[in-house]
Structure 1
Amino acid sequence: MILSHQRHQRHQRHQRHQRHQRHQRHQRDQRRLMAVLRHALPVSGWERLSEVAFPKAAPALLPWSEAGAWTVHVLWAPVARTVTVLAVHRRDQ
């Protein structure tokens, strides 16, 4: 009887531990996804480029490079142009 109770407690601890690990992985994935989406915006690119001249006191949790910030600015113009042309073309028909 005592052994089965101990096994049951061990099993419950193990399940709690697994749930906790899954929760931590989910939170980490959410933070990464939000960082990627935020880094894809031109305003975030501008903020990152301005950090070179005016650094922040605390570093970012998921930092990104100056090259990444420039890439965002370079790619936003053709993407916006393409979306605009396709949207206008489709609307005129």
Structure 2
Amino acid sequence: EPVAILKATKNPEAAKAFIDFILSDDGQKLAVSQGYIPAKEGIPNPSWLPEGTEIKLMPIDIQAVLSTTEADKKRFADMFGG
């Protein structure tokens, strides 16, 4: 699952500490114990994922994403309030 620090957070230090933890080896092991696929290399996959399974990442064009960010935020706000 994605993690982020929101601009409006009331405790940015705690938010950063959480992200630092969840991306650490111990945090990734905790995530795996809850059934998530680790984001960090070297951490074994969860038991439900057959050994040797290759996980392919979707290609992403960062510039294309960035070029539509403002329009996407407006559309989201129009749909869900904001």
TM above 0.5? no
Indicate the structure whose relative CO is greater, using CA pairs within 8 Å and at least 6 residues apart.
1
TM-score by length of 1: 0.29
TM-score by length of 2: 0.32
Q: Which has the higher helix share?
A: 1
